[in-house]
Structure 1
Amino acid sequence: MIGRRTTGWYARTSCGRPSLHARVAAVGAVLCAAALLPGPTASAAGTPGPYGFAEDARSVQGATSTTDAERLSPGTTYTSSLPTTGKLYYSLELDSTSNAYVSATAVPPEGTTVSASDGIRVSVQDANGSSCSFETASIGSSRSTHPITAVGAREAKPTGTLCQGGGTYYVVVERVARTEASPAAWDLELTPVLEPRLKRTGETSAPEAWNSASPAPLTGGATRRTGGTGFASARLLSPGVWRDDIRPGQTLFYRVPVDWGRQLYATADLGSASSGDRGFVPGALDMSLYNPVRDKVEDAGVSYDGSQKSAVLDPLPPVAYPNRYAAVGRVNTMRFAGSYYLVVHLAAQVADEFGDVPIGLKLRVRVEGATKAGPGYSGQSAPEGLFGITAQDRAAAPEGHGGAGGEDADATMKLLAAGGIGTGSVLLAVLGVWTAVARRRAGAGAGA
């Protein structure tokens, strides 16, 4: 009896692209036909260096006064530069009902000296200079240069009095706790987004009870997955055990789709040093979790002495819209469905003690609980689909141990993007092809 081959079989498309495993052959067939259709032009390559900026990001100049502040359009990503001193201003035009969030990711140049308190402050102000919100992010105890992110927000509240109503608002970004040793400008990535109002007002208080017990760690074999270099290139992880390597001074980005009503658990295991050397680096490994608007939810860190170490996120509540009414930050920030980002940094000082060589990294990811209906938004977010699980993610990363075939899951989505056509239309066609192929195989098997 001849069984179906699941490995070693490669399908080649006639588009001239590299071969992929057979399970993405249908995607190639659709893209070959779609290649004749007009599509958007390719954007310039992202900025090289320790952080991978979004390839389609637009350059914007921060102003030193609100009078000259350039406008940011929600749903668009921007790059800018933050000097050592002074404030930079950008403007937003907002309606009276949407919530606006603006994240700023600052990237200190590699090799510069930084202190634990060096960082950035992001705030949103109204036309009268009142602060709607502010947030500060700092380098931290590792004193190792790495990307840091802070978020400013304007929340529309029916009972609010400050920063309400439509009009012009200002995003203010500045350095904090500047040291004489780090005078160089820091690169910035700015991502303004909009959350629409609800069709109907729901709960106005955070859930009082949820499962705060930590589940048993996932075990079993790991699937290799190389982390991205920025939020835009964060690699997709489904529930399972994942394997990567991380070098001293490196920051890796991953994303986990989490739907309404579901709970995320994550652990980062740093392997033992292959050199066998002994030493000690405080705050060597840091794993931070960011929500879909890139607001930090929680982080976990461990020091390193050459033996294996594990960083575990504290239990988090199920994703729910009313979480925003909680006073505790790690509950308040679990307010959206969508992609949650795991960002892992290994301090540069590890190289001094154990050599400038990669160290093994394992990520153990759980997503548990029953999916619930969303809150019922009255319109689309900007960018569209930000606060939900996309069909692309469901197709590329179905639930299950080890994810959807390691590196090939993202290869499918990259091939879709390379085609320069709407992924929604392509996905419908691809799913149709997959269904037809599956039925044909089932019929052939029945007749054998």
Structure 2
Amino acid sequence: MSGAPWWRPLGPRAPWVAAVLMCAVLISAALFIRNTALESSALVTRGMANVIMVAGFEAFRDTEGLPDPSALNAFLAAHREGGLRYVAVVDDDQVLASAGEVKLGRLLLHEGSPLVVEGARARLVSRLRRPRPAFGPLTQEEVRAMSAQGDSLEPRKHLRIVYEFEPLTALALESRSQRLLGVAVASCVGILVLAFAFSRSLAQREALSEELERGRRLAALGTMSAVLAHELRNPLASLKGHAQLLAERVERDAVLAPKADRVVSEAVRLEQLMNDLLGFVASGELRRVEADPNDVLRAAVESTGAARVEARYLPDRTPWPLDAGRLQQALENVLRNAVQASPEGQRVEATVERQDSSLVFTVKDHGPGIAAGEEERIFEPFITGRMRGVGLGLAITRRIVELHGGTVSARSHAGGGAEFRLTVPARGA
């Protein structure tokens, strides 16, 4: 197995995968902490309610009758730091005595639960009990006497005491958990931004690596082409010349004439292939002049075969900075492939139009189209689906258009067949 990292096959998507996993873990942890804090907050609120209720019981257990406002104010002052904000004695819905500022609505007095929490306030309702005798248990005679007077040791049915308090510790827990969740969300946003930056960087790095690899291949082809030009051009020219002379000598020989013509045609094909290879790897600086795109397309159509191509041109003459000869060669390569791919009786469609600040040449054929996933690969050198040829035509086309600062794309169109778009911007566009 190779030593490449596990994330290498993901390419530019690797930072996004890592970022999503980190954000999922971070948000899950923050939500877990927040839920735990809310549960703890509820427990703390109930604990504070119990403390206040016990304190109230201790404060008012020896009070005869209704506690006066001064006793309520003293109790409120003693427990204000603990969060107590309001205390009142009520009989059903009527407030008999109170101290502090009330915030919650009076309907909460009728809730079934003795403790109600709403927002930053909590309300606790408990019964107010009368004091028991100071010394020892009551005798039966004392109980009968108190009963005859209408007194009772049981809690009074209608008299209740209401405590309204702020659960400060619980509110602090909720606030901190909320801030923690906010920090987690902000951190996730930062992580996603970094993932975007890293993915862009990786994509650019891969594109640069591909471009460098392509440059190395072109350099190797250039070296090979120089060797071919030096070693094969002269022998090939000699072979072609002698083959042509031999063909002329045996022109009337029914047996030898076809063989000689075959030698000549193969020599011409080899010469054309070598010229294509040399043209592909040549540095090829452009010689731009103001040329009419209609003339360029028209020359390419006539060179390919006007009978097989239906061309549509710009309505007016539009001078454009082009290397007309090189661009014509690019169009011829595409048109020649389109004609070969289209069945007999189907004409290839070629158009030139202006879109914003660019020229767009479009060539459509009616052949089998382009296999899915091959839209970019067909422009690589030595990639061909035909028996004859070395697959340099489209590679040369791309190189010429890129030298013009443009792009070439290919796809299968809805009508069946392939569609090539050659986009050539104006100089500096």
- Pick the TM interval, shorter chain: under 0.3
Which structure has the larger Rg?
Answer: 2
Structure ranking higher in strand proportion: 1
What's the TM-score once normalised by structure 1's chain length?
Answer: 0.21
Identify the structure with bigger relative contact order (alpha carbons < 8 Å, sequence gap 6+): 1
Structure ranking higher in helix proportion: 2
What's the TM-score once normalised by structure 2's chain length?
Answer: 0.22
